[in-house]
């Protein structure tokens, strides 16, 4: 009997070619970021080079691509979603730069390259992160704005997801949880904030850029929330099972700093089952969309479940 994942894949249409989709979407995002960030030669050069160093360090562009795919699911187009997709990627990159600092996770390697502070020093790395999160809001301000979702709604959306109750709350709880014995509820609290909040925000902003209906926004929220949680469970699994080379970041880190993870709490097999269950919930959230329009979102969620790095 095929696994539920495979069944759903068939339901979404086996003909969806995610590799071809990413071959179009990723360069589209890359070009957008290149156009929407200040050029590297802008004064002060060190700062703008540092911002671009991490933005163009080979990220998978998962969040911006989810944003574009969500726009598509709601009859929107990539061009209108692009500033919001880039804003989310700026927030994501800033959070990685700051997380990698010696005062936080103290990581030397990210996406197979030296981390920002290793190249530019801690001071500039902190400021490059600061500049990226600030630029994210400038990008949202520079977006079109839509009938149902004006700039007030868009900025509020991003600020909330990136703020002290979500993304940053997750990072603080993660930091404080090191070496502590966490319950599953506490671990879920961290994952919801550290990972799910910005992923969810990415698809919501995509939907908003298509001036989506309230019901569609609700479905996207549900989808983003579950994909985000599944993403983090898989991340924790890969930290155990994969090599530093494969991941492009230091493997085995969680165990080294005694970080609570799903594998450490419930074991590897149960963690895999949880990730699959969360992904099925994400699939279910897409059922209200016509299959073809949501095919990219569906394929992305499946890809994230089965990825090996």
> Interface with a copy of itself by CB under 8 A: which residues?
38, 42-44, 46-48, 51, 94, 98, 101-104, 121-127, 129-131, 133-135, 137-138, 140-142, 145, 150-153, 155-156, 158-160, 162-165, 168-169, 171-173, 175-176
Distance in Å, CB of 92 to a copy of itself, minimum: 13
Positive or negative, the Cα torsion across 194, 59, 64, 240?
negative
Residue with the two structure tokens 């299959």? 291
Alpha helical stretches, state H, the chain: 4-12, 18-36, 45-55, 62-73, 78-99, 116-120, 122-141, 151-162, 167-177, 184-191, 197-209, 214-241, 244-247, 253-256, 262-266, 268-285, 295-306
Which two three-digit tokens encode residue 118?
A: 């290793």
Q: Are strands 109-110 and 113-114 parallel, antiparallel or unpaired?
A: antiparallel
Which is closer to a copy of itself, CB of 158 or CB of 220? 158
H helix or E strand, kind and range, residue 110: strand 109-110
Which is closer to a copy of itself, CB of 148 or CB of 291? 148
Distance in Å, CB of 289 to a copy of itself, minimum: 28
Which is closer to a copy of itself, CB of 168 or CB of 240? 168
Distance in Å, CB of 149 to a copy of itself, minimum: 11
Question: Which residues, at least 6 apart from 175, have a Cβ–Cβ distance to it below 8 Å?
Answer: 104
Which is closer to a copy of itself, CB of 160 or CB of 284? 160
Distance in Å, CB of 95 to a copy of itself, minimum: 8
Distance in Å, CB of 101 to a copy of itself, minimum: 7
Q: What is the Cα–Cα distance from 135 to 132, expressed in whole angstroms?
A: 5
Distance in Å, CB of 215 to a copy of itself, minimum: 24
Which is closer to a copy of itself, CB of 46 or CB of 288? 46
Which is closer to a copy of itself, CB of 140 or CB of 230? 140
219: helix, strand or coil? helix
């Amino acid at each position: 009997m095929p696994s539920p994942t495979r069944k759903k894949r068939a339901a979404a249409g086996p003909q969806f070619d995610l590799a071809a989709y990413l071959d179009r979407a990723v360069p589209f995002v890359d070009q957008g970021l290149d156009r929407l960030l200040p050029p590297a030669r802008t004064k002060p050069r060190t700062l703008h080079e540092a911002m671009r160093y991490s933005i163009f360090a080979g990220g998978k562009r998962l969040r911006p691509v989810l944003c574009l795919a969500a726009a598509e699911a709601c009859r929107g187009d990539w061009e209108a979603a692009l500033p919001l997709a880039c804003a989310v990627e700026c927030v994501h990159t800033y959070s990685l730069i700051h997380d990698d600092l010696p005062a936080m996770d103290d990581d030397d390697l990210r996406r197979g390259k030296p981390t920002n502070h290793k190249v530019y020093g801690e001071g500039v790395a902190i400021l490059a992160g600061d500049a990226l999160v600030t630029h994210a809001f400038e990008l949202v301000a520079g977006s079109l704005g839509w009938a149902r979702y004006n700039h007030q709604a868009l900025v509020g959306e991003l600020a909330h997801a990136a703020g002290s109750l979500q993304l940053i709350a997750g990072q603080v709880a993660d930091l404080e949880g090191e070496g502590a014995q966490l319950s599953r509820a506490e671990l879920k609290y961290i994952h919801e904030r550290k990972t799910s909040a910005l992923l969810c925000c990415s698809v919501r902003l995509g939907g908003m850029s298509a001036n989506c209906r309230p019901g569609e926004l609700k479905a996207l929220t549900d989808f983003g929330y579950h994909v985000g949680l599944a993403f983090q469970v898989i991340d924790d699994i890969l930290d155990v099972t994969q090599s530093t080379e494969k991941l492009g970041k230091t493997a085995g880190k969680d165990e080294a700093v005694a970080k609570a993870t799903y594998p450490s709490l419930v074991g590897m097999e149960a963690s895999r089952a949880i990730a699959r269950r969360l992904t099925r919930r994400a699939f279910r959230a897409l059922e209200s969309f016509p299959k073809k329009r949501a095919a990219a979102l569906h394929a992305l969620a499946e890809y994230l479940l089965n990825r090996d790095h």
